[in-house]
Structure 1
């Protein structure tokens, strides 16, 4: 028996190691701190330990990675919030959400300090600088649930000047980016009113996969999702220097200061590791919350009742397992 064991060990040593599964993961914008967990999983070897050879392809203003997923040219896609996912299910696009890295959508309204006492008062601003696409999505929810009015609208063209020059105006902003730009350009910290803290209950920074991949290779999906979760834990609470180097390589406009400030905002606002994620793990998703958000979007007039089969929006098998919760606590996070 001992001789047999030695022979088996010798045979195993001569066999080639199993090749890692090649995975192409695309994001929806240029590399930044909001993508940090994925870069951490790559730089820190977490994907490699999961048997994955991952290529991250960044998006950008001239890059639309979305149609590449159903076409089979990429394996996973980082996208925005559940509105995109509802549209996919409504239109029969054969993709499904398998995780949500952000418990809160970072979309926010920014205001000058001391001009408005509460979120409810923002609807009384002189002007609301809102981009066209937002006017036809979450602005409709602000109208239905919070009484905002179209006559306040002005198109936001991603220039800060109009907002900075009018103290009684409000402006849309990605809560982990625009406040940094406002502080640099205007010399003050804007008040950040996160829509998620006032009922905009969507998950964000979701991971989508082709339905075919989920059905035929769920083990691949599980490994990618869980490695990404661990990447986010280590990016928020561990040594992120190697990940930041990859981010700056892909996006040379990104700086250490911007990344550090963005991460600080992620933590203070509870964007990634809050609520359900602190028990069920980063990436957590619940069907009750998906339905709650859909019902709000119906009330806002974006969908009709029953128009979207919610069972086709998310596959919950790959999250809610507490992956990384112990690691976050050990590193001083997850509180």
Structure 2
């Protein structure tokens, strides 16, 4: 089905949560601000354009207009984002769907409330001209993945009925060189990021295979909140989500300007992400993951969530499932 050519938008329920005045054009007067509620949001990676919606909401005063003062905390070594929320060190956070499900199965008092990405950006990349035209091209080939990719590839092979792919674990360092040398036909990548660096280093864009096109069902950068926050201050959660996804809508409406904003105002000096061209390309690559082929961004489909969870459990990506009826919050971004 062809993609819509209209601009991404908030769902009607979410837009009503944010309020028409806050969505108005920048030259219109802002409404009086509500009393401030402080929130801490834990990212699952370093500050860069893959979280641009949050930074846009902060930079353009959407959080402030909603009465929120939001601390956006970057990931650091040793941080378990689900535990940060479950144990009260952060109010909200984002993570891959399987990590949220695993934490919930272990008893963490958290729920998924919305999602930044409708699909996982896990993929494979191979040198230009390798012929990575589809999953069939991997028959009889060797693919290098990280430890987290072993079960993902088992799922992809199983769902598609292709067992003639040799999957081996490799370290992250210099992994694409293994494909260039011919040791591996393809290696694991994060589609919205790593191919950009490979292109810069090798002078040609790698061929990329999106695993979400081949059976990997999962949301990513999925926003979770503590049960306490959801119960005691549901209006705060709704206000945060509405502002965040209005931020995302503005990012996708002008990706070069958004990249300049992220780099200029949020990426720390010395970071590899302190590069406007790099961040602009990242936003181009992540757009289809944010929109998911629809106009209503941020929304988790209960049906797709449960289907993905069941498939993850079947292939051991999650060891055990929680009661799926309790895993999603009742927000404007769950349908």
- Number of equivalenced pairs: 298
Counterpart of 1:308 in structure 2 is 322
Alignment partners' CA distance in 1, 2:216 and 2:115:
15
| Counterpart pick for 2:40 among 11, 19, 24 | 24
Cα gap change, 1:17 to 1:31, in 2 (>3 Å): closer
**Distance of aligned partners of 1:191 and 1:203 in 2 relative to their CA distance in 1, 3 Å threshold:** same
Alpha-carbon deviation of 1:292?
1.4
Q: What is the match of residue 274 of structure 1?
A: 292
Q: Give the deviation of 1:127 after TM superposition.
A: 2.3
Q: Is the 8 A contact 1:102 1:272 kept in 2?
A: yes
1:148 shift after superposition: 4.3
C-alpha separation in 1, matches of 2:125 and 2:225: 33
In 1: Cα distance, 2:217 partner to 2:74 partner: 26
What is the TM-score with the length of structure 1 in the denominator?
0.81
Please say which structure displays the higher CA radius of gyration: 1
Q: Contact 1:125/1:169 (CA < 8 Å) preserved in 2? A: no
Q: Per the alignment, in what secondary structure is the counterpart of residue 314 of structure 1?
A: coil
DSSP 3-state at the match of 1:317: coil
Q: Which runs of 5+ in 2 are unaligned?
A: 1-31
1:297 deviates by 1.9
1:131 equivalent in alignment to 2:149: no
Runs of 4+ in structure 1 displaced over 6 angstroms? none
| Cα 1:212–1:59 shift into 2, 3 Å | same
Superposition RMSD on alpha carbons, in Å? 2.4
1:228/1:180 CA distance change after superposition, 3 Å: same
Write the distance in 2 (CA, Å) between the matches of 1:156 and 1:24. Answer: 33
Query: SS in structure 2 opposite 1:318?
Result: coil
Q: 1:63 to 1:89 in 2, by over 3 A?
A: closer
User: Do 1:86 and 1:308's aligned partners in 2 also have CA atoms closer than 8 Å?
Assistant: yes
Structure 1: gaps of 5 or more residues: 1-15, 322-335
Shift of 1:174: 0.5
* Secondary structure, aligned partner of 1:23: strand
Aligned partner of 1:182 among 174, 198, 202: 198
User: 1 CA distance for matches of 2:112 and 2:269?
Assistant: 26
Decide which of 86, 110, 113 is 2:101's aligned counterpart.
86
User: Counterpart of 2:291 in 1: which secondary structure?
Assistant: coil
Q: How far is 1:31 from its partner?
A: 0.6
Q: Please show how residues 222-261 of structure 1 align to structure 2 within 5 Å.
A: 222-238=238-254, 239-240=257-258, 241-249=260-268, 252-254=271-273, 255-261=275-281
Summarize the alignment of residues 1-335 of structure 1 with structure 2, pairs less than 5 Å apart. Answer: 18-61=34-77, 63-79=79-95, 81-116=96-131, 118-124=133-139, 126-135=141-150, 137-146=151-160, 147-148=162-163, 151-159=166-174, 160-166=176-182, 169-238=185-254, 239-240=257-258, 241-249=260-268, 252-254=271-273, 255-267=275-287, 270-275=288-293, 277-278=294-295, 281-302=296-317, 307-319=321-333
Partners of 2:226 and 2:263 in 1: how far apart?
29
Seen in structure 2, the aligned counterparts of structure 1 residues 251 and 213 have a Cα distance that, compared at 3 Å, is farther
User: Deviations along 1:104-127, whole A, 9 cap, x unmatched?
Assistant: 211111122343363222432642
